């Protein structure tokens, strides 16, 4: 999965988590199993056999049957896997209410997560246990927050939604009111000197606290008054940390209280960072089209053809498209075709298939054998052809344009396309 982008991995995982979260069992009968990469499969199977034995004690006949069936289904699937994939495995299985009231269908999902599974857990509940996958969805990058004015400063690290205030200091600088007996000028000089010393100390602390954070993606500085500007622009902050400053913001307070205000504002800033990246990608795509360089194409068919030739560098797919890729198979001759459909017409399409002849053997034995989200299917295709896929939200003007004017699918090409 080396060529998949962060945006695509997140999209896929989010999709899976959303789908699984909707599935509820009628009773405590849905099975969740997280397998870390280093776990022996023989170990896992023996856990499952023990649970199977325990399940025989369940009082309700239907629950007992469903739990035992689910465990059996998992065992069957895992038996043929010699060892867990590189990031381990998350397994979800159980009888899910389906169609008519009271009718259920056994479903099983094997998921290779984008990050290593670090818990070994078996659970049986009325719903699937998704916390470890949820955690993988929260961004892991760290951001440094500094809240500073003349009186105090605080430093914090924001990692996903986790905030850690790492240091607070008070300057001890007196207010603007002059103490008796001193000349105004001397008093002001003393204050300036103390302020300079405080900022120098803060600058040293910033290096100490932030310089060794390996994945520090950005720094946000805030505070009341102009001390924060002096701090960020007058040489107190030096490269490489200075280059990471994303924003300098006004807040009502400094110190720890100021940090809270920065966290509230940081969501917006980080979101804008992501949107800026998306905007730049679509702008590049639009630019290639406008200049007619032949290094961009759009439309599902054209992008598929470019993928086939290995010509695609980056596929841009709008998060807003709702399409499924459906595989149709003839059970008589094995002839297979694929179609892209909107999800709401699939059932009708499937019913119509029963009356259609196979183009190869003329038998009326066509059926849908696989339905996949189009974005996921394009992701797999891009992975096979060394292309990258980026998911573009429709939140920016450029993102809207990709969705509406280009029906949500475009591609940047490695070379000028003559086709």
Nearer residue to Zn ion within complex by CB, 361 or 404: 361
Only one of the segments 62-70, 116-124, 127-135, 328-336 lies at the binding site for Zn ion (rule: CB under 5 A); that segment is 328-336
Closest distance of CB 328 from Zn ion, Å: 10
Nearer residue to Zn ion within complex by CB, 54 or 364: 364
User: Should residue 353 be labelled a site residue for Zn ion when binding is judged by CB under 5 A?
Assistant: no
Nearer residue to Zn ion within complex by CB, 197 or 352: 352
Peptide bond connecting 301 to the previous residue in cis, omega within 30 degrees of 0: no
Closest distance of CB 301 from Zn ion, Å: 24
At 359, is the secondary structure helix, strand, or coil?
A: coil
Letters for 356-375 (x = contact with Zn ion by CB under 5 A, - = none) are: --x-xx--------------
Beta-carbon contacts of 179 under 8 Å, excluding residues fewer than 6 positions away, are: 187
Rounded CA separation 83/73 (Å): 18
Q: How many residues bind Zn ion (CB under 5 A)?
A: 7
Only one of the segments 73-81, 113-121, 302-310, 335-343 lies at the binding site for Zn ion (rule: CB under 5 A); that segment is 335-343
Closest distance of CB 370 from Zn ion, Å: 17
Classify residue 289 as exposed, middle or buried by CB count within 10 Å of its CB (0-12, 13-18, 19+): middle
Closest distance of CB 326 from Zn ion, Å: 17
* Contact indicator for 316, 382 with CB cutoff of 8 Å: no
Classify residue 397 as exposed, middle or buried by CB count within 10 Å of its CB (0-12, 13-18, 19+): exposed
Could you write out the DSSP letters of every residue in 144-181? Answer: EEEEE-SSEEEEEEEETTEEEEEEEEE-----SSPPTT
Closest distance of CB 325 from Zn ion, Å: 20
* Contact indicator for 68, 42 with CB cutoff of 8 Å: no
Selection from 364, 348, 331 nearest residue 339 by Cα: 348
How far is residue 385 CA from its own chain's centroid?
A: 23
Q: Pick from 167, 335, 400, 407: which binds Zn ion (CB under 5 A)?
A: 335
Q: Pick from 121, 333, 346, 368: which binds Zn ion (CB under 5 A)?
A: 333
User: Should residue 331 be labelled a site residue for Zn ion when binding is judged by CB under 5 A?
Assistant: no
Closest distance of CB 366 from Zn ion, Å: 7
Specify the DSSP element, H or E, that contains 110: strand 104-111
User: Should residue 330 be labelled a site residue for Zn ion when binding is judged by CB under 5 A?
Assistant: yes
Instruction: List phi, psi (to 5°) of 342.
Output: -80, 145
Closest distance of CB 369 from Zn ion, Å: 13
Only one of the segments 71-79, 135-143, 228-236, 332-340 lies at the binding site for Zn ion (rule: CB under 5 A); that segment is 332-340
Letters for 157-196 (x = contact with Zn ion by CB under 5 A, - = none) are: ----------------------------------------
The residues that bridge with 411 in the sheet, in sequence order, are 297, 315
Q: Pick from 28, 47, 332, 396: which binds Zn ion (CB under 5 A)?
A: 332
Only one of the segments 144-152, 240-248, 352-360, 398-406 lies at the binding site for Zn ion (rule: CB under 5 A); that segment is 352-360
Rounded CA separation 282/319 (Å): 13
User: Should residue 354 be labelled a site residue for Zn ion when binding is judged by CB under 5 A?
Assistant: no
Closest distance of CB 381 from Zn ion, Å: 25
Only one of the segments 66-74, 331-339, 375-383, 399-407 lies at the binding site for Zn ion (rule: CB under 5 A); that segment is 331-339
Letters for 276-315 (x = contact with Zn ion by CB under 5 A, - = none) are: ----------------------------------------
Nearer residue to Zn ion within complex by CB, 241 or 328: 328
Closest distance of CB 364 from Zn ion, Å: 9
Classify residue 143 as exposed, middle or buried by CB count within 10 Å of its CB (0-12, 13-18, 19+): buried
Selection from 62, 64, 33, 61 nearest residue 47 by Cα: 33
* Contact indicator for 261, 371 with CB cutoff of 8 Å: no
Handedness of CA 206, 211, 213, 216 (dihedral sign): positive
Residues contributing to the site for Zn ion (CB under 5 A): 330, 332-333, 335, 358, 360-361
């Amino acid at each position: 999965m080396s060529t998949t982008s962060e945006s695509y991995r997140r999209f896929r995982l989010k999709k899976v988590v959303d789908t699984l979260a909707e599935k509820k069992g009628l009773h405590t009968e849905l099975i969740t199993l997280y397998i870390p990469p280093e776990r022996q499969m023989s170990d896992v199977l023996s856990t499952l056999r023990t649970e199977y034995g325990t399940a025989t004690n369940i009082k309700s006949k239907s629950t007992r049957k469903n739990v035992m069936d689910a465990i059996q289904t998992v065992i069957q699937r895992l038996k043929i896997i010699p060892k867990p994939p590189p990031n381990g495995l998350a397994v979800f299985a159980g009888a899910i209410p389906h169609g008519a009231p009271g009718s259920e269908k056994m479903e099983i999902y094997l998921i290779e997560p984008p990050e290593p599974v670090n818990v070994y857990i078996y659970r049986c509940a009325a719903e699937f246990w998704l916390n470890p996958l949820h955690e993988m969805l929260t961004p892991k990058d760290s951001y440094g927050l500094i809240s500073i004015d003349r009186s105090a400063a605080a430093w914090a690290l924001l990692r996903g939604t986790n905030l850690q205030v790492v240091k607070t200091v008070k300057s001890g600088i007196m207010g603007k009111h002059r103490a008796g007996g001193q000349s105004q000028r001397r008093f002001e000089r003393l204050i300036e000197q103390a302020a300079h010393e405080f900022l120098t100390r803060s600058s040293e602390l910033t290096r100490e606290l932030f310089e060794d954070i390996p994945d520090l993606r950005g720094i946000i500085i805030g505070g009341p008054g102009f001390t924060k500007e002096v701090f960020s622009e007058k040489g107190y902050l030096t490269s490489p940390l200075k280059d990471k400053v994303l924003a300098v913001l006004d807040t009502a307070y400094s110190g720890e209280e100021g940090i809270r205000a920065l966290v509230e504002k940081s969501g917006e800033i980080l979101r804008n960072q992501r949107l800026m990246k998306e905007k730049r990608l679509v702008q590049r795509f639009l630019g290639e089209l406008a200049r007619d360089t032949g290094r961009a194409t759009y439309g599902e068919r054209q992008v598929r053809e470019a993928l086939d030739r290995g010509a695609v560098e980056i596929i841009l797919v709008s998060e807003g498209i709702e399409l499924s890729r459906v595989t149709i198979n003839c059970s008589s001759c094995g002839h297979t075709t694929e179609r892209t459909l909107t999800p709401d017409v699939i059932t009708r399409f499937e019913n119509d298939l029963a009356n259609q002849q196979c183009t190869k053997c003329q038998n009326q034995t066509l059926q849908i054998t696989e339905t996949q989200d189009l974005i996921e299917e394009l992701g797999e295709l891009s992975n096979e052809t060394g292309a990258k896929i980026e998911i573009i939200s429709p939140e920016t003007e450029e993102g809207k344009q990709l969705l509406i004017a280009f029906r949500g699918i475009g591609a940047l090409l490695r070379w000028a396309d003559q086709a």
